[in-house]
Amino acid sequence: MAAQEITDDPTAAPPLPADISSALTGWAQQVAEQAAAPLRARLERLQNELDTLRRAHAQVQAALSEGEASLERLAVEVRSARDIASNALVGKAKDQLAIEGKDAQLAELRRQLERQVAISAAESDARLAAEMERVGATTARDNLATEVAELRGRLEARTRSLVPG
């Protein structure tokens, strides 16, 4: 009776033989794997790029840390040099005034002090330029972090689109 029911229904498709069904299933799996292969390769390349960016980010962070430490050391050295120079100038001024007490010596000391002030201003300008360079490196680090975040987002979006359910 079941065979008669199958043949009586005009919309029913005849059942596929097992070997054809198996061959179609194998073919469908092969096509799916071939279609997914470029996406898997792209995903692997993106992961490698992300790893490279992470390493670059770590290097930038290390360079920034070194730069900040160098700036701090330079600032301490400049303060120390300024104190030594000021003490030397004051000591020299006292000695010269005590020995000779001439107006010409005062004028020379004034010129030396002005030169020292100019040198201090140049050092201060150099520190300012170094600080501005550090700020630029920080901005580059932040831009790199933003780019890494964007790549992660794109990678996650692609991964979600590749992984069903």
Please compute the mean of the pLDDT values over residues 148-164 and round it to a whole number: 84
Element (H, E) at 97: helix 18-99
Question: Whole-prediction pTM value?
Answer: 0.33
Token couple for 127: 């520190």
User: Which CATH fold topology does 41-162 show?
Assistant: Helix Hairpins (1.10.287)
With vertex at residue 77, the alpha carbon angle to CA 76 and CA 83, rounded to the nearest 5 degrees, is 90
pLDDT tens by residue, 39-69? 889 989 989 998 998 998 899 888 888 888 8
Q: Assign residue 16 a region (left: φ > 0; alpha: ψ between -120 and 50; beta: otherwise).
A: beta
Task: Give all strands (DSSP E) within 5-154, no chain letters.
Answer: none
Q: Return the closest-CA partner of residue 138 out of 74, 67, 56.
A: 67
pLDDT tens by residue, 61-120? 888 888 888 888 888 888 888 888 888 888 877 776 676 666 776 778 789 988 988 888
Segments making up each domain of the chain, as ranges: 41-162
Share in percent of the chain as helix, strand, coil (round to 5) = 90, 0, 10
pLDDT number for residue 105 = 66
